[in-house]
Amino acid sequence: MDEHSHTTSIRPARVSPLLRRKIALILARKELLTPSDHLIIGVSGGPDSMALLHILANTLPIARLTAVTVDHGLRPQETPQEIAQVRHFCSQLGVSHQVCPVDVNELRRQKKCSLEEAARELRHQALEQIRQTKGAQAIALAHTADDQAEEVLIRLLRGSGRKGLSGMSYRQGRIIRPLLDEGKKDLIQYLQEEQISWSQDSSNLDHTLLRNRIRLDLLPRLRKDYNPGIDQTLIQTATILNDEEELLEQLAGAAYEKQVCTEQGNDDHATELIQPLILDLKRFLTSPPAIQRRVLEKICWQMQARPGFRQIEQLRGLSMRPEPHGQAHLSCGLRVQRQEQTLLFHYPAGRHAYRGD
């Protein structure tokens, strides 16, 4: 070999610019945002949300971004430092930053729900309130492909149907999830390349929380003993179900428009705050059971009720019974009355617990 010859090392490709371009394409192709939209970004200080903030700050106009850190009041020894880190990072990027404190333990006592459920509800409420105050069009959350795999398992264990097992979507109302196809490892590599520090939430090691047990115990065991690619299998299943869910929702929406109407000209219901709805059973009963369930669910949601599987099947039974009369009582005073070839959904005594005739 010539004494002047030398070998050159091949440097691995940087993930940073590729990932930013990928997220920009996702925002455009899935129509998650337009260039003029104002966006709220949930930033906890963890690796996922710090990566999301940096990517969006390098993709969208800075002036249209507001980072929000929700302080759940659960880790007073750690949270102030995390908030300070996020605030400093936002200052470097030129992004507006707000802190929103919430009382998770109080809501947990009031609703007798899990810590996770209370934290999620208050977090979404806080972000939505700031979105409305700012006049923003969307809220960006840093859920990843790893989170999707965990979420599908959680919903499976809780007995969710197809809709639940379809997992999280890129858009859900005002919430968008641009990182839903990205793995945590790639995001950490992104942060390392960009020399961005992040915080580690000690509660992520708390085995009393279901999601942590899924991530730390169940998924590793499934990878080791059953399927090394279980994460990708769960994500692919969620993608398939999500696509099918969209189709079924379109069909159910079309059926709803044909089968459901508001009640007109009946003074008996004039004092009800929520407009009564009428379901045409002749058209309804020609639909497949899957569409029937979705139409009934849509009606209940429109009536501000949250039906479970048992309540939906009760209503299907009421619609198919040979007798042309009957009724069902659902939560918070929602009554469903069979009247020949229709079902009437209304609140005869207002929206509260009620068991009258």
The whole-number pLDDT of residue 273 equals: 75
Query: According to CATH, where is 3.30.465.60 located in the chain?
Result: 263-346
Cβ neighbour number for residue 292 with a 10 Å cutoff: 22
- Least Cα distance to 216 among 119, 150, 158, 117 occurs for 150
Judged by DSSP in three states, 114 sits in coil
Complete edge-to-edge strand list for the sheet that includes strand 325-329 = 260-262, 277-280, 342-346, 335-339, 325-329
- What is the phi/psi pair of residue 252, to 5°? -65, -35
The CATH number of the domain covering residues in 15-243: 3.40.50.620
pLDDT values of the chain reduced to their tens digit, one per residue, 357 residues: 444 444 445 555 678 899 999 999 999 999 998 878 999 999 999 999 999 999 999 999 999 999 999 999 889 899 999 999 999 999 999 999 999 999 999 998 888 888 888 999 999 999 999 999 999 999 999 999 999 999 999 999 988 778 888 999 999 999 999 999 999 999 999 999 999 999 988 888 888 889 999 999 999 999 999 999 999 999 999 999 989 988 999 999 999 999 999 876 555 555 557 889 999 999 999 999 999 999 999 999 999 888 888 999 999 999 998 888 898 988 778 999 999 899 999 998 776 655 544
How far CA 76 is from CA of 49, 107, 200, 202, 276, in Å, comes to: 20, 18, 14, 12, 48
- Least Cα distance to 167 among 245, 251, 229 occurs for 245
The whole-number pLDDT of residue 354 equals: 52
The whole-number pLDDT of residue 129 equals: 96
Spatial separation of the C-alpha atoms in residues 49 and 43, rounded to whole Å: 5
The whole-number pLDDT of residue 236 equals: 94
Spatial separation of the C-alpha atoms in residues 223 and 175, rounded to whole Å: 31
Look-up of token digits 């009428």: 278
Judged by DSSP in three states, 234 sits in helix
The CATH number of the domain covering residues in 263-346: 3.30.465.60
Cβ neighbour number for residue 177 with a 10 Å cutoff: 23
First to last CA, the chain: 99
Tell me the one-letter amino acid at 291: I
- What is the 3-state composition of the chain as percent helix, strand, coil, each rounded to the nearest 5? 50, 15, 35
Read off the pTM: 0.79
The whole-number pLDDT of residue 113 equals: 83
Query: According to CATH, where is 3.40.50.620 located in the chain?
Result: 15-243
Spatial separation of the C-alpha atoms in residues 327 and 175, rounded to whole Å: 37
